[in-house]
Each structure stands twice: as structure tokens, then as C-alpha cells.
Amino acid sequence: MITNPETLHDPVPFGYSHVAEVGDLVFVAGQYASGPDGLVTVETFEEQVELAFANLGTALKSAGLDYADVFQLRTYIVDHSGEKLEIVGGVLGRLWGGRPPVQTMLGVAALALPEMRFEVDAIAIRRS
């Protein structure tokens, strides 16, 4: 089942959906610092990371899940640096404590919109 939570922007004009549920697996498309219109609403890298993870939480909640149900993340950082890694690590530590999900972190030249500096997608599991 593919869904788009009403509390996130409508992704269909951008060519994708937010959440796909396949059996016990829940796939969340790349979340970024988007507002209701799908445009980036904050400027700094730290603000973008915070809002992207908040949007991820909203997408998970729409499927009846939470951060604890995530087992894989992929994060994308424009102009990766040690400072940016620390920012992302701080958010991960706050959300998952000492047991973060597995993760692939990619440094990239650009993302879908020129203002985007960070994006995160996830795979979660519905536990019986």
C-alpha cells in the first residue's frame, strides 16, 4: 500500500510517494526540510537535518510506527564534512540513543532541489 500523510507536502507532483508498506516492511522515501508546499523552509544545515528527521517521524507515524521501528537509514549530505557528520550524529544519538539503525551515509554534490543540503530515507519493520 502506498500512502501520503496529509501532514506532509503532496509529493505526487514531484514524482514520488512518501510511504510504501509491503507486508511487515515500511519504506519511507527521502525526507528533507520540506514545508507544506514541498519547498525547503529552513536554511542552515542543522535546521535542515532536524526538520528532515521530524518529517521522517511524521511519515513513520502515519504507518503506526516510530523511530524505534527503523532498522536502516540512508542519509545524503551535500558537501560532506566532519562538522556536518557531528550534527547528524547528534540527532541520531538523540533519537536512537546507543542503538542507532544501520546506515549508509553518502556525500553528494547536489540533491533534488538546489536549497536541499540533507535528505534521509528509511526502512522500518512492523513488529508483531
pLDDT at 128 over 80: no
How much of the chain, in percent, has pLDDT values that exceed 90?
98
* Whole-angstrom distance, CA of residue 51 vs CA of residue 35: 9
Closest CA to 79 of 114, 38, 47: 114
Q: Which fold has domain 2-125?
A: 60s Ribosomal Protein L30; Chain: A; (3.30.1330)
Residue boundaries of the structural domains of the chain: 2-125
Q: What is the rounded CA–CA span in Å between residue 12 and residue 112? A: 14
Q: Region 17-26: what's the mean pLDDT?
A: 97
The answer to whether 77 and 118 are in contact (CB under 8 A) is yes
Q: The pTM is what?
A: 0.96
- Residues 29-62 have pLDDT tens digits of 999 999 999 999 999 999 999 999 999 999 999 9
pLDDT of residue 127: 86
